Structure 1
């Protein structure tokens, strides 16, 4: 998922790390400092169209390295969230660094997430801008609920319950969708989907160039 244009990461905003408040947090995540940039898959690639496999091996160096790489790849692409199949890995895992509508920055990862939404009678749908790192250069208004809870595990197998409101709730829904083989394009009308794909064709090379410049500035 893309960072909303009016939002930027800050080292001094309020931060919740893996759902828990922390006093401070750097702009570049510590995981990203250790990571390598991976290629981001683009809509139309088969791995984005199927449900990802459940993670069963916890606490491994390989899983930690994947998370590190995903954080750096997300950062270089100016993302708010990134799912494993977006770096061509067939696992139920996503990372996030996303603000909510109250100025709180939420940072973390979650494995084997299960999404809980409010009951239909109490949920409120909000149309807001949504972009996707796998649909580079496009953005459309997508209806999402304004509250969401994701239950899953961290890389060591510990239980996580992550609650989101506003734009962060949108991020949680967007990334969980990815792991079920869906992009936000699947939630659009046929006309809006064509518009988004047209935007991508017009702007994708510009987006790829910006990513390359940012990666080079970090020496990656």
Structure 2
């Protein structure tokens, strides 16, 4: 399967809460294949289904050479003191702003066989788990910026050549 085009800020699918996956069928298998192919391009730590225009709870990740996916992810643990980390997003190309993220995150979900799985990690993996789960909840990292940075980011978006 080829990588799929990334939906950009302004596309309504990015602000829509994704539906849980209730049946694992060929459509869901194809979605996972597309997510995994899409996340393997250089510079990508994660791709949520909503970013490729599919309103289902699934994302792929590519962190420290580990590539995978999870269906119906739910954050079950965040720990440590939230810290500001520079963050960007494929759906908001070219912008990087500091966002408060927990240094550790754990999510649970299922795989394509319906088996329970758990993903957890520190630093970049924790950030990716939080960022991608936000996408499935209809949030962009811009929604988590403080007022001053959000104003600056929105100005950059309006002035960008892709918006």
User: Is TM > 0.5 for Structure 1 vs Structure 2?
Assistant: yes
How far does residue 46 in structure 1 lie from its aligned partner after superposition? 1.0
CA drift of 1:56 comes to 1.1
Indicate the larger mover: 151-160 or 63-72: 63-72
| From 85, 91, 107, the counterpart of 2:67 | 107
Following TM superposition, by how much is the alpha carbon of 1:204 offset from its aligned partner in structure 2, in angstroms? 5.4
Secondary structure at the counterpart of residue 65 of structure 1:
helix
State the secondary structure of the residue aligned to 2:109: strand
Structure 2: runs of 5 or more not aligned: none
**Is the contact between residue 137 and residue 204 of structure 1 (CA under 8 Å) also seen in structure 2?**
no
- What's the offset of the Cα at 1:199? 3.8
Distance 1:204 1:110 in 2: 33
**Structure with the higher fraction of residues in strand conformation:** 2
Instruction: Give the TM-score taking structure 1 as reference length.
Output: 0.68
TM-score (ref. length: structure 2)? 0.90
RMSD of the alignment, in Å?
1.8
Residues 117 and 145 in structure 1, CA contact (< 8 A), matched pair in contact too: no
Q: Pick from 6, 10, 16 the counterpart of residue 50 of structure 1.
A: 16
Shift of 1:166: 1.0
1:39 aligns with 2:5: yes
* Counterparts of residues 56-205 of structure 1 (less than 5 Å): 56-58=22-24, 60-76=25-41, 78-99=43-64, 105-118=65-78, 123-200=80-157
Distance in 2 (CA, whole Å) between partners of 1:158 and 1:204 is 43
- Post-superposition, which runs of at least 4 consecutive aligned residues in structure 1 deviate over 6 A? none
Structure with larger Rg: 1
Contact preservation (8 Å) 2:48, 2:60? yes
